[in-house]
Amino acid sequence: MSLAAQALAMPAIPAALATTLEALQWAFLLYFVSINAVYLGLNFIAMFAILRYTREHGASFRLRNFAEYQPPVSILVPACNEEKTIVATVRSLLRLGYPNFEVVVVNDGSRDGTLRAVVEEFGLVEFPEAYRARLKTAPVKRIFVSPGNGRVRLVDKENGGKADALNAGINTARYPLFCVVDADCILQEDSLARVVQPFLEDSRMIAAGGVIRIVNGCKVKDGLLSEIDLPDRLLPLTQTLEYLRAFLFGRLGWSPLNALLIISGAFGVFYKERVIAAGGYKSDLVGEDMEMVVRLHNQMREEKRPYRIAFVPDPICWTEVPSDLRSLYNQRVRWQQGLAESLFGNWRLMARRNGGMVGWVAYPFMLLFECLGPLIEVFGYFSVIVLGLAGMLSPQAFFVFLFASVGLGILLSVNAMMLEEISFHLYPRPGQQLKLFLVAVLENFGYRQMMSLFRVVGLLRWLVRMLRLRRRSHWGHMRRNGDWHEDDPGEAGAGAAASRPLQSAPGATR
């Protein structure tokens, strides 16, 4: 019996209302089927893309042969109150197998010992280096360099947010390409070489991003990943599977279509002059990383220039994810707020006649399913619960809804596990595979719904921010455990002195 027919037999429920609820019920089903169908399509594209990539780029000799042609890269590490992890991050960067690079740490007004930790560990001294402010930033107070290792420099500036710190790093960078790395990240030895590879293969390349993996549960010793394992706690473990799904078919599926709208702020390479021409990172936004990529798409299509923005599936960046619910809540609210800012701030991309796949397909998908989708999901779950409690939900409709919202979600997560297994095989043990499979099932009963609620809060915060015209961004702070790295006191990094005081040279930074 249909919902409308049931309502006719129940005088307390108006037939018009019952018909409306039934229409909404099927609309929610259509939404869940549509979003998962698109994800399945991206999954098939990603599968062929990853097989092709591993066939063409799997041989390590390619990196060695291309070494003399690899362009120099400035690695920017914006840091604010990252005392626990900043030294391990810089150590790992100095061990990259790349011929010519520099590490520029930007201390954005940290209130802890971030500045002192970097200066003491790498033997930095203040140097009156000329500072060319091509992008406007908060005042830069001083610049430190390493007499023993010219690859490490440190910019000490007043607090202005992550975007402002990145702009200061771009002003300081010496090289044509810059790579953004978060201060709590660890790169593998060949990560930089692999993520720069698209710039060698295609002269139109203006940006490229790599894979983010979860370092919780792993062991890092003296800046090197010494043991790969899954987190013991449920919250980071669930995020491990979530990251596999997001990167291995979410972003890899859009990349061959030149429709990639997101490059993670934790690990991405950009052509410096193109970013400067676009005005640099916007310091009045929360999601400065995604907004930059969307704006680059928009600007290049406005100027009718040929370009490419790529995703590379194997340059791995290991990062710490939230282990407590409050930090996860703050992170996801911030992400959703940044997503709304990026899309609505560059809406012209969807309206361009030369919008291509990115403007006509990727942008509408992100807007409807990723940005506004949480509202539909939360309202759909709420409606199903209300209808079920009122006895107005037929068993057939319930099981169809369960399959669309839960069954297809499990299928996508298992597919992500399969892509990981056939490509990079980072979690080969049966126990690890079993843990990931159990999480693939359990995350659909509570975790996914909780993430939708968090994202709705992010949308509401974006709306309030727009109405109040708040134009000042802040760092998204997360409680760091930092228990994944083990310091080796016997090995100092790059001329470190365990108790060397801050040194300075006369002269102010311009």
224-253: pLDDT as tens digits: 788 899 999 999 999 999 999 888 878 889
pLDDT of residue 1 exceeding 60, the answer is no
Which of 121-135, 267-281, 293-307 has the lowest average pLDDT? 121-135
Which pLDDT score, from 0 to 100, does residue 21 have? 66
Helix (H) or strand (E) holding 106: strand 101-108
Which pLDDT score, from 0 to 100, does residue 67 have? 67
Higher confidence at residue 285 or residue 145? 145
Q: With contact defined as beta carbons under 8 Å apart, do 206 and 307 qualify?
A: yes
Average pLDDT over residues 308-322: 91
Domains of the chain: 3-479 (3.90.550.10)
Which pLDDT score, from 0 to 100, does residue 283 have? 87
Strands 177-181 and 267-271: antiparallel
Which pLDDT score, from 0 to 100, does residue 118 have? 94
Task: Give whole-number Cα distances, 18 to 201, 248, 313, in Å.
Answer: 59, 42, 48
List, in order, residues 6 or more apart from 380 with CB less than 8 Å away.
Answer: 28, 31, 32, 401, 405
Confidence of residue 335 (pLDDT cuts 50, 70, 90): very high
Strands 267-271 and 205-214: antiparallel
Average pLDDT over residues 485-507: 39
Distance in angstroms between the alpha carbons of the first and the last residue of the chain? 77
Higher confidence at residue 36 or residue 162? 162
Average pLDDT over residues 14-24: 67
pLDDT of residue 61 exceeding 50, the answer is no
Which pLDDT score, from 0 to 100, does residue 487 have? 54
pLDDT of residue 298 exceeding 50, the answer is yes
Question: In this predicted model, what pLDDT tens digit does every residue of 348-405 receive, in sequence order?
Answer: 999 889 999 999 999 999 999 999 999 988 888 887 777 777 777 777 777 777 777 7
CA distance 190 to 375: 41
pLDDT of residue 286 exceeding 70, the answer is yes
Higher confidence at residue 84 or residue 360? 360
* Token pair recorded at residue 235: 């919250």
Which pLDDT score, from 0 to 100, does residue 497 have? 35
Q: Residue count of the chain, please give it.
A: 510
Burial class from Cβ neighbours inside 10 Å (0-12, 13-18, 19+) for residue 116 reads middle
Question: In this predicted model, what pLDDT tens digit does every residue of 199-231 receive, in sequence order?
Answer: 999 999 999 999 999 999 898 877 678 889 999
Give percent above pLDDT 90 in the chain: 50
Confidence of residue 476 (pLDDT cuts 50, 70, 90): low
pLDDT of residue 62 exceeding 70, the answer is no
Q: What is the mean pLDDT of the chain?
A: 84
CA distance 318 to 210: 11
Q: What's phi and psi for 231, nearest 5 deg? A: -65, 150
